[in-house]
Structure formats: structure tokens, C-alpha cells
Structure 1
């Protein structure tokens, strides 16, 4: 099947189901296979899918149930409907330039945040991050800039913020946060996932800290080490990944955290405004 719009639409549909439900590692492994073989899965039996994905037949059956269907046949039927929907043809759609396609993709990525922002995972993330002091923010490599961005504004409204963006000292940083009373940590984990960040999440959870991670897909292999997994899809249409959705999700998360103590937030913002004249270039 070479109908790319239909495949991308169906991938988004399936990822949406994954995002709404917590899956086991073997179930996520099965989803990875399905995402790469949608046309085959649409006509495959549980035995076929299990053999191709390298899992057991009961795993495939339980996966369909975990995604909200009464059984695998119902899941397969829904997948067929999505993949071969004749009412959503893009044959007459204009061909977009690479930059226009990237922009359209990012608009879709940002629009997909609506579900995340209204989810229980978001509420839990706000609860634990608003309740921790100090607040540690982890981000390495491509995620370093995202962590710095969040930390820059977080320092305006929160009293004790630490950005951990050096792999060599990350283990020490997590331990120090714990010793200083931190009850939660936030990590930005964009592709390719640094092993040091994944290890830091596991260490934080082992120390009894709640873990929140902003990731690009709900299928990350380290999902079991994250208490609140917040998904912000990454744009992949250009030479390098773009993180527009991550920025929107991050600043929305900070806004919700700041709103938990509105009085403190207002006081700190007013204090910051008094310093603006020292560094802001005057407007003409």
C-alpha cells in the first residue's frame, strides 16, 4: 500500500490509542511492529501478528483489549476502517514544499496536545511538580535547550530551580536533589534518547521521587520508569528535528504549576519586572 496520507492518518490513530492506555513492554513491542506494517496487520490474524512481532498470541489479544476493544477482530476492523476510509481521500490535495509540509506537520503536532493538556497525566504532573522544592529539570543533548528554556522561565515563578544538562554530573545531581528534599523531577527526553537521562529517571524513581517526562511518543522503552508521561510529537520533515510542540507543552505545564500558588507567582513576577529596566532595550 502506497497511500502515504492514509498510512500516516492510521499511524496517528493507533498512536492516539496507545497514548490513552498504559501498555506493557511486550505490548509496546507489538505496536512498534504494527506501526511499520499497517497494511499487513489489517488482514492478519493474531497468530500472524504474534509471529511477526516476536510475541505470544495471547499478547496480541490482550493488546486489543488494552486499547479498548472487545477483542482482536474488533480492533482489526477498526484499523481497516481507518486505513481504507474512502471519505478521507487526499488524492486532490496540493503538493506542499518541504518547508510548508514541515509547518503543516508542526501544526498537527501542536493540535495533538489538546488531549495531553486535558489528561489525568497532566494533572498528576502539575501536582507533583508544584509540590516539590527544589525542582530539578533534566535535559541532555537535543533536550538540553528545552530544559534550559523551561528552567529560565521557571526561575521567575518558583523559588528553587536546578537545570541538570551535563551527563558527567547527572547522577550526582539527582542524588543531591533527593538529599535537598526534592520529591519529583522533570525530564525532557527527545530522540535520540540519551542513556544517562534514562538512567537518571530510574535512579530518581528508586530514590522515591515522582518522575515526569516530556517525550515524543508514548512508546518509549523507559515508560515504566515514568509516573507521568507527557507526549509532544517531534517534527521530522526537515534536516533536524523540530520541537514546537515540546515548547508549547512545556510552557503550558509551567503555567499550570505557577497557577497552583497564584499569589507567590504574582509577587515574584512583580519583583522581576522591577529589574527589567536594567537589561531590556528601550522601545522607541
Structure 2
């Protein structure tokens, strides 16, 4: 990861949090919980507050994509000027929250997830994935649990514009298909943690068979990200009522929608005809049901 800015600082810190050492994670959590304090603190002061060494603070800043602690402080100060620190922790849902607060907090969390994802979704990275899918012989999408719902959504969208593909949510079927993958195939894997074995192993197998692999994950330092040819990072803050996969689902869907639109643009003649044909078939079916 490189070049975090005030705009994507929140997402960058959250993305690498699972892969940090315990001491580095303590510093990262301070950045999320009290960014203004970190921005004001010298490295000596932060060392005392965090109970970690100055060397650990420098290593953590570099792990977050900065050249050192001074650059991290500047980014935090810029984020503060933009109002970013006010939304680092938007407020966890509590068992006794009234439904009005539930609506506000869930809306805020999902809005932040979308904004954080957009901030780190570089057009050139997205463009490489769009091009791979545009040129693909076949596209397979893989995910389990909540990520499986995202995989099914992506496969359905691509089918509507005439791309041959399939969504896999079962590891045995996925491994079977991955073993038969060929150059020209594209495998898109969706995993919040990037460490789910049911997703990682089929991607490893497909890559070894010559397929192009794409990861959509919250963790750019995960095993899945390390295997993939292309990595798109989603965002979403886990809470007691919103485990990681659910918290990141809305941002994964944003990435899927961006990929879909990009592919549809790049294959407009084919995709436009396919959309009209599929819409016509569904409209005719719906009309018959109403008349009957």
C-alpha cells in the first residue's frame, strides 16, 4: 500500500489493521480512536501513551504507507482539517439503541464504508480489472457466506450483459472448476478478511492453471491479496451487530457495480443488445403472469 491521503486515511488504517502485530495494532487503534491526540503527540509522547517503543511507532507508520511518523502526523492533521477524525468512529450500535438511532448509525456506517472504498479505488486499478473481464473467455466469481451473496450478484450482472460466468459458493465445486481453468479465464474472489480457505485455495488453483485472478477484500495484505493478479480494497468497520463480512458487503457491492458499468461501457454494442434482450424476456414473462 502506498500514498495514503487525508481522504483515504481512515480506510487505509482499517484495511491493514488485521495484519499488524499486536503492538502496531495498538498504535493503529489509537489513530482510529483519538486521531487528534496522535496528531498533537510527539513520537516520545505517543510512545508513553501507547506503551510501545519509538521504533514500533515508526514501523507502524511505514506499514500504513507513510515514510515515517512525521508524515503520518501531517496526514492526521490534514484529516482533522477536513473533519475526518469526527467520523473515524461513528458510534457503535448498542442493545438499547432506539430504532431512530439504529437507522442513523447504520446509515452513517454504510455511507462511510462507501466513501472509504471510493477513496482508495484507484481508476487505474479498476481499469485493469475491467479490461481483464472485457477480454475474458469466461468469468467465475467466488465467495462464501455474506461474500457469496456479493459473488452471486456479480455473476448475475455479468450474465445480463452476455458474459459467460458462474458464481461459486461451494469449495468443492470451486476447486473442481479451478483445476480446469485456462489462460483467458478470470476468477474474481470476494472475501472480507482475505484469509477464508474456501476462497483462497480455489484462487490459488485457478492461478496455477493460468487464469487471471482478482481479489475484492478489506485486507490488502491478506493471503488472497498476495495470490491475486489484481486487488481491489473494500472497506467496512466491524461492530457487535455488524460482523466484518456484513459491514463490508455494501462496499463490495459498490466495487462490483463499478466493474459492471466499466465492462458494459467497454463492450457497449454487445452489452446494450444483451440488456435489451434480457429485459424483453423478463418483461414478456411478467406480462403473461399478470394476464393469467
**TM above 0.5:** yes
Q: Of residues 63, 72, 77 in structure 2, which corresponds to 1:75?
A: 72
Question: Does the CA contact (< 8 Å) of 1:18 and 1:218 recur in 2?
Answer: no
TM normalised by structure 2 equals 0.70
User: How many matched pairs?
Assistant: 262
| Structure 1 CA distance for aligned equivalents of residues 218 and 212 of structure 2 | 20
1:264 paired residue number: 270
RMSD: 4.2
Deviation (angstroms), 1:66? 7.8
Q: Does 1:111 align with 2:118?
A: no
| Structure 2 CA distance for aligned equivalents of residues 86 and 130 of structure 1 | 38
Aligned in 2, Cα 1:160/1:86: closer, same or farther, shift over 3 Å?
closer
1:3 paired residue number: none
Q: Of residues 61, 64, 73 in structure 1, which corresponds to 2:62?
A: 64
Q: Secondary structure at the match of 1:222?
A: helix
Give deviations 1:106-157, integer Å, cap 9, x for gaps: 1111123333444321111111122111111111122111111111121111
Question: Does the CA contact (< 8 Å) of 1:202 and 1:225 recur in 2?
Answer: yes
Deviation (angstroms), 1:246? 1.7
Deviation (angstroms), 1:215? 1.4
Q: Does 1:276 align with 2:282?
A: yes
Unaligned runs of 5+ in 2: 1-5, 92-96
Q: Of residues 6, 11, 28 in structure 2, which corresponds to 1:35?
A: 28
Q: Secondary structure at the match of 2:236?
A: coil
Aligned in 2, Cα 1:283/1:253: closer, same or farther, shift over 3 Å?
farther
| Structure 1 CA distance for aligned equivalents of residues 197 and 147 of structure 2 | 13
Q: Secondary structure at the match of 2:180?
A: helix
Give deviations 1:220-266, integer Å, cap 9, x for gaps: 34321122221222354562424222222211211111211111112
2:186 paired residue number: 184
Give deviations 1:31-55, integer Å, cap 9, x for gaps: 645323436975546xx69xx889x
Unaligned runs of 5+ in 1: 1-9
Moved over 6 A (4+): 82-89, 93-96
Aligned in 2, Cα 1:145/1:124: closer, same or farther, shift over 3 Å?
same
